[in-house]
Every structure is written in C-alpha cells, then in structure tokens.
Amino acid sequence: MSGRKFNFNPGPAVLPLSALEQAQKDLIDFAGTGIGILESSHRAKEFDAVFQETKARMAKLMKLPADRKILFFGGGANLQFAMLPMNLLPKGSSADYVNTGVWAGNALKNAKLIGDARSLLDTKGEDGVYRRVPSASEIKVTPGAAYLHLCSNNTIFGTQYHEWPDTGDVPLVVDMSSDILCRELDWSRFDLVYAGAQKNLGPAGVTIVIISQRLLERCADGLPMMLSYKQFVAKDSLGNTPPCFPIYMVNLVLKWVEEQGGVAAVEKVNRKKAAALYDLFDAQPDFFRGTAEKGSRSLMNVTFRLPSEELEKKLISEATAAGFVGLKGHRDVGGLRASLYNAMSLEGVEKLVEFMKGFAKKS
C-alpha cells in the first residue's frame, strides 16, 4: 500500500497489513451481518465464533498445555500488577519480584500496596540504568513464596530474558506484554502469563492472561467479579462486555502468524531483524552504542545512543522524513529505540540499517 511508513513505535505499534485490510472491510460489514464489527453484539453468534476461534488459535500457536485458561481483560498490564497479589498473595505469604526496569518496578510497587511483595533482585546500575537481566542461576526463589514475578522484555531499556530460572514448586508469573509470541517457548514453565496486546498481538484495549489450573485453584475467593481470575474463568471473560474489537484484531494477527509458518518461522525472522542492527553496533561501536549488555539484548526493542544528543535528534528527524517513524527513545532515558515487533518486516529493518550507515558516514 502506497504511503505506508516503516513503523518502529514501541506501542501501540505496527500491525500486519493483511489484518488492517480485513478490518477495514469488516468495519462496514462483518461476517455478512450487514453491520460492522464495531457495532456487533458480544452475544452475537458471529462474534462468539471469533471469540472462540481466537482462544483456539492462540492455544494451538503457543502449544499451551491443556489445563491453561485464556482470559481477556481491559486495563492493560497495569491492572494485572494489582490483580496478581489480590488473587495470589494471601496474608501470611510473600511473593518474589525481580526488578529489571520500569514496568517490573511498577509491578512490585503495586504488589506492595496489597501484600508482602519482596524485591528478590534488582539489576539497576550505579548510574540508574538497567542494562541487563539476571542469569537464571542468579535468581534464587524464596522457598514457599506465593509466586515469582518477572518482566520478560523491557521496552525502555532494551533487555530481555533468554533463559528462565528453575523455580521448583514456586509458580512462575511473567509479564510478556512486549515480547509474547516473538519466539517459541516451553509454556509448561509458566503458571501465569499476561500481556497487553498493543505491542505484538493487536491494538490497545485488551490484555491476555493465560493461567494454569493449579494456580487458578490457589486464587482468592470473595473478590469483585472484575478483579477475580476465578470468576473470569467461570464466565469465560464474558461477565461484562469484553473489548470486542481488540479481541477480533488479535485473532487476525494470530491468523497472520499462522500464515507466516507459525511462531518458529516468525522467531527466525525476528532474530535476523535484531541481528541486522546489533551487527551494525558491533561494527561501528564508536558511533552506534547499544545500551543493553550483549547477553541481555532484546529481540523486540533495540536501544542505542550516538556520540551526542545533537546527532540523535538529527538522525530521528532525518529518519522520520525518510519514512522511518517512532525511533525516539523513551523520555526517561533518551537516545534512540527501534521496536522490531513481529509485524515489522525484515525489509523495513534492512532499509533502516542502510539509512543509519549512510547517516554515520556523512556525520
């Protein structure tokens, strides 16, 4: 489609063109009903078919264990920061949190408002910057902890877990908002995963929660319906009107992943995209300085600096004019960031790399 730019925004972020084109059609007439998807009742059989298909497609693509329940919430990951301890941190128990950046830290802050949540490990550097995630061997869970919470990918600092700790009987809970479905995982390792859709799964407005049966059985009773995992499972996420359009879009994105050959095929492309930028950094370290330690480099969010802030502003300006949008780093850390979510094409990244090479040569 002419006029489309290469979208490197950190979220809301790039979506597959095929999904956008299908949505464009369904905004007017959804499934032959004569009304648009935005107008459809969540009780209509046509939407229910999409709803059930979305769950089935997600379970198949991720190869989820049979006992996992897929739930759809509003409120983003921020709501899950509070829901987790409300449901899973009873009085007299404690929960372990590993702080690797802003969102992991916010999850811990919220949990402390509700129960005994403890910072098991914090990877902040002396300069206040998070440049790494801990190795699996560094994470020693507290025996009997209610759960261990990690944030798998840190959008602001460009770091990502590439191995998972052995938590024994302690349930592993992971915020995968910015890297869900970017690579194949052994989903039996995780008891609860949550992810805002607006980075790798769809538009803003829906958060996916995947919870195991054993953890569901530990959830507190007596919570308000909108804050209870148990009640959401019992009502199949339909206790109130769900975020229908975002769920519909998630299904289209999942369908696109299928068409690429599944998660393994998408991961292969993701690794090529990330390597194209990191190889440039390693080849020209005096000009492009990656901010994450090599062992913690993210596949999804590539963060870097130039020799001066003036050059950074100039690159962002010229890149935007050339059709590469969203490269400005987070306001808390500055610099630059290229977000390489699944729907960003390898072609887009390769063209960005060529642009950056040319910029460095003339600067």
CA distances for 253 relative to 16, 21, 27, 61, 260, angstroms: 7, 12, 16, 12, 11
* Residues 257, 251: Cα–Cα separation, whole Å: 10
Amino acid (one-letter) located at 157: F
- Which parts of the chain fold into alpha helices (H)? 17-26, 45-62, 76-88, 102-112, 213-216, 229-234, 244-260, 263-283, 309-321, 346-362
- From 96, 175, 179, 191, active-site residue: 175
Which residue do the tokens 């289209």 mark?
A: 252
40: left (phi over 0), alpha (psi -120 to 50) or beta: beta
361 phi/psi in degrees, rounded to 5: -65, -35
> Which pair of tokens denotes residue 232?
């959401």
Neighbours of 43 (CB within 10 A): 9
Give CA–CA dist 123/80, Å, rounded.
22
DSSP class of 141: P
Q: Known catalytic residue: 164?
A: no
The active-site residue, picked from 55, 199, 273, 328, is 199
User: Using CA atoms, how far apart are residues 302 and 283, in angstroms rounded to an integer?
Assistant: 16
Give the strand pairing for 207-211 and 192-196: antiparallel
Rounded CA Rg of the chain: 21
Interacting residues of 259 by C-beta distance below 8 A, sequence separation 6+: 18
Residue 103 among the catalytic residues = yes
Catalytic residue among 103, 179, 256, 328: 103
Active-site residue set: 103, 175, 199
